[in-house]
Amino acid sequence: MLELSHVHKVYRVGAFGGSTLRAVRDVNLVVKPGEVVSLIGESGSGKSTIGKMVLGLTKPSQGTITFEGKDVTRLRGFGEKKEYYRHVQGVFQDPFSSFNPIFKADRVFEMIRSSYFPDVSDADWREKVLDVIGTVRLDPANVLNKYPHQLSGGQLQRLLIARALLLDIRLLVADEIISMLDASTRIDVLNLLADLKERGLGILFVTHDLSLGNYVSDRSVILRKGAIAELGPTRRVFENPLHPYSRHLLSCVPQLHRTWAEVDAELAANPPEDVVLPTVSEGDDSAPLVEAEEGHFVGIDQR
């Protein structure tokens, strides 16, 4: 359904764009219907850049991203983009920033209505909204007609997922959507993702919480400096991490409810052995993987 092939992203940085920053390097990955793929990596490893490229918010410097066979990087014009967003939606870390504080929270539904369903009657629309609110396990009485500040982060996050469900979405990019929620709400939102997966949605799940993230995900991708260090069935990656970086990362998070800030601090205080970047030879910025066991791949230089 979603396929990234040799995707690179180089940002121009510095005062006059004089230097470059390699945010994503030679990433290949696939998300199938009904599959949750976790993107795991410390801050700055390129997770959000991958999410943004999939959502068409920034273009890869090299490589292709296809969704149901269509090249996402070549969507032309308003019509094609709109059609794409009918099937692919993103939800991000900070739910408050997705709502305008001066309007009621359910205005986000109206925006979908005006762009995608202008001809639906009020009664039918109301039914549709109540239906998706039920799907995300919210009580309409608690969330409709409320301002964002009257709702919790978890409620807002679920409203954003409900909004996406008004469309015929097939792929959801969830970028650290549970990181700002408290522990019990995190589990509720993860259960919701599991429901969506049951309905056949593909989910690219940028995760923050390694201890909970693995619980819904079918496959995990460990990113290190923009390149895939390891990719495989989640259980295999967590039980038998093969890349030294994955081992290090996973050894830092045995406890439940540990924050990413704590993990980052520990990684900074106790850096992993410096891995050789997956560069095959000078000037070659490919990051090849080898298949160590069925479906379980490791960066070539890291065995």
Question: What is the pattern of x (binds Mg ion, CB under 5 A) and - over residues 22-51?
Answer: -------------------------xx---
Among the listed ranges 47-55, 82-90, 104-112, 274-282, the one in contact with ligand ADP (CB under 6 A) is: 47-55
Binding partner selected for residue 268 from ligand ADP, Mg ion, none, CB under the kind-specific 5 to 8 Å limit: none
Q: Does 41 bind ligand ADP (CB under 6 A)?
A: yes
Cα-Cα-Cα-Cα dihedral sign, residues 130, 106, 171, 155 = negative
Min CB(66)–ligand ADP separation in Å: 21
What's phi and psi for 212, nearest 5 deg? -100, -25
Cβ closest to ligand ADP, residue 48 vs residue 155? 48
Residue 46 or 278: the one with the smaller Cβ distance to ligand ADP is: 46
Binding to ligand ADP by residue 13, rule CB under 6 A? yes
Handedness of CA 227, 231, 237, 241 (dihedral sign): negative
Identify the residue whose tokens are 């940085």: 13
Q: What is the side-by-side order of every strand in the sheet holding 2-13?
A: 19-31, 2-13, 62-67, 70-71
The residue range among 41-49, 59-67, 194-202, 286-294 that interacts with ligand ADP, by the rule CB under 6 A, is 41-49
46 near ligand ADP (CB under 6 A): yes
- CA distances in angstroms from 10 to 55, 62, 73, 166, listed in the order given: 17, 9, 15, 34
Instruction: Tell me whether residue 112 or residue 287 sits nearer to ligand ADP (CB atom).
Output: 287
CB burial readout 229-239, b (16+ within 10 A) else e = bbbbbbebbbe
Question: By CB under 6 A, how many residues form the interface with ligand ADP?
Answer: 12
| Polymer length of the chain | 303
Q: Which one, 34 or 44, has the nearer CB to ligand ADP?
A: 44
Q: Give the interface segment with ligand ADP, choosing from 38-46, 68-76, 134-142, 265-273 (CB under 6 A).
A: 38-46
The single residue among 14, 19, 20, 21 that binds ligand ADP, judged by CB under 6 A, is 21
Task: Give the nearest distance from C-beta 259 to ligand ADP in angstroms.
Answer: 15
For Mg ion, which residue has the nearest CB? 48
Q: Where does this chain touch ligand ADP (CB under 6 A) — which range of 36-44, 67-75, 84-92, 98-106?
A: 36-44
Measured CA to CA, the distance from residue 104 to residue 91 in angstroms comes to 19
How many residues touch Mg ion under the rule CB under 5 A: the total is 2
Q: Are 48 and 206 in contact (CB under 8 A)?
A: yes
Under rule CB under 6 A, residue 49 binds ligand ADP: yes
44 binds ligand ADP (CB under 6 A): yes
Residues of span 64-123 touching Mg ion by CB under 5 A: none
Closer to ligand ADP at the Cβ: 11 or 215?
A: 11
Question: Which residues are near Mg ion by CB under 5 A?
Answer: 47-48
Question: Which residues are near ligand ADP by CB under 6 A?
Answer: 11, 13, 21, 23, 41, 43-49
